[in-house]
Structure 1
Amino acid sequence: MLSGGLLEHSICAVVGTYGTGKTTVALQFVYEGLAKGEKVIYISLEEREDFLRATMAQKGWDMDQYQDSFFLIRLDPTDFNIAISSIKSELPSLIKSVGAGRVVIDPISLFEGLFEDESVRRKEMFKFIETMRDETCTFLLTSETDKNNQFTSKYGLIEYLSDTVILLRYVRPTNIAEVHLALEVVKMRRSAHSREIKPFEILADQVMVYSEANVF
């Protein structure tokens, strides 16, 4: 669906409502990078470090072998000054110091929410994304959807700033039918990506996209 995968050194946004597997997709992205010998930074603004590590252990991933390659950082988004400073000022130097090939921010929507004024949010996010483009690594940012629209991010901004946008959502054929998870590559710059909507499942050890199947 991505014509071979995410482009190296690009910025990808994974957008979805609660329970659609955003963090699971991000962790899969992390593990695949580590397995390829890359250094990975994971910044969590929501889930606790012990929960994330327990989730990875539950999937059967041996993370002990990657202690020198995996950097998991938990930031408290309620502490505005520390969260802003850590992401804007310290992340670029951390990327360079560890030689990170992949960086995850989960969810970027909590970072966006630190700016109450919409014009300030747009300006700060644009500056932040432009700074990240100077780094030689691939970014994956997760975002909640708008509470009234499952097809757009919470602030409707990250889609415009990212190179790739992957939308995760529920599909309910009827009110009493089984609920399915569906995935769509909404946008991918410099790539002839698939425009189809495909079902996927969150399995015990991986996320499986059924690219040959149809949702209905």
Structure 2
Amino acid sequence: MKAPLVKIHRLGFGIKGLDEMLSGGLIEGTVSAIIGAYGTGKTNFAQYFIWEGLKQGQNALYITLEERTSRILNYMENKGWDVSAFLDTSFTIVNLDPSDFNLAINSVKNELPTLIKKTGAHRVVIDPISLFEDLFHDDATRRREMMRFLESIRDLNCTSLLISEADKTNSFISKYNLIEYLSDTVILLKYARGSDSTDVHLAIEVVKMRMSQHSREVKPFEIHQDSVIVYTEATVF
């Protein structure tokens, strides 16, 4: 007798085309990464992930190492979202200053897991994880500490989304070519140029997704003030 299939619980972005590419969304309890160059919409996707959770009654935690809390709120409210209704109840934003090495390391490694437990966060965003990676001065230490950190996050029964800068010379990999190996799911955002090199489009690809089938096609997408549209029926040049 075959063992019954275990139902996989997923957390969607609320972006139809992307959720289709992910077979419904990110797998609950996993660590995922969005990698992209500047201007490709990484933070946009992260905020949709947070907002979709809030609408479903899930607690959300947004860790920003780059933007002020007020700017994060402004970005979300400009999309027409009433995020103020969730502040201090189910939505928590924490700004960490990565300029002080010891403080930033201790805050992320030691205080973040405690904060996730305290807030009961179902969805966690760290934007950008690249600044945390910058704190380590050699590849061996960076890999070891990142592995330990992500394993501690996996143990907390939350679904995490890490925002990562693309490498300056190769937009298909992250800055340190590390987070894609440590994450369960990797979403790549990139620019695509037409044959005449004058038209520039945005494209999305699910490069990797453990424990699940997913689309392996590259699809164009557009970012509007109040929506993100992934064109799953279209093709990229």
Which bracket does the TM-score occupy, shorter chain normalised?
over 0.9
Unpaired segments of 5 or more residues in structure 1? none
How far off is 1:138 after superposition?
A: 0.2
Taking the aligned partners of 2:211 and 2:125, their CA distance within structure 1 comes to 22
Taking the aligned partners of 2:160 and 2:118, their CA distance within structure 1 comes to 17
How far off is 1:180 after superposition?
A: 0.3
Taking the aligned partners of 1:158 and 1:214, their CA distance within structure 2 comes to 27
Unpaired segments of 5 or more residues in structure 2? 1-20
- Tell me, what secondary structure is at the counterpart of 1:186? strand
Partner of 1:60: 80
Task: Confirm whether residue 157 of structure 1 aligns to residue 178 of structure 2.
Answer: yes
Taking the aligned partners of 1:205 and 1:140, their CA distance within structure 2 comes to 21
Taking the aligned partners of 1:176 and 1:12, their CA distance within structure 2 comes to 32
- Tell me, what secondary structure is at the counterpart of 2:76? helix
The 5 Å alignment of 1:1-216 reads 1-67=21-87, 68-174=89-195, 176-216=197-237
- Tell me, what secondary structure is at the counterpart of 1:139? strand
Taking the aligned partners of 2:156 and 2:90, their CA distance within structure 1 comes to 18
Taking the aligned partners of 2:91 and 2:102, their CA distance within structure 1 comes to 25
The total of aligned residue pairs comes to: 216
Deviates more, 1:187-196 or 1:206-215: 206-215
Deviates more, 1:100-109 or 1:43-52: 43-52
- Tell me, what secondary structure is at the counterpart of 2:173? strand
- Tell me, what secondary structure is at the counterpart of 1:84? helix
Deviations 1:125-152 (A, max 9, x none): 0110111110111000010011110000
Same amino acid, percent of matched pairs: 60
Taking the aligned partners of 1:202 and 1:80, their CA distance within structure 2 comes to 35
Taking the aligned partners of 1:178 and 1:26, their CA distance within structure 2 comes to 26
User: More relative contact order in 1 or in 2 (CA 8 Å, sep 6+)?
Assistant: 1
Superposed CA RMSD in Å reads 1.0
Deviations 1:8-44 (A, max 9, x none): 1111100000000000100110100111101111000
The TM-score, its normalising length taken from structure 2, stands at 0.89
Structure 1 letter corresponding to 2:71: F
C-alpha contact 1:185 1:194 (8 A) present in aligned 2: yes
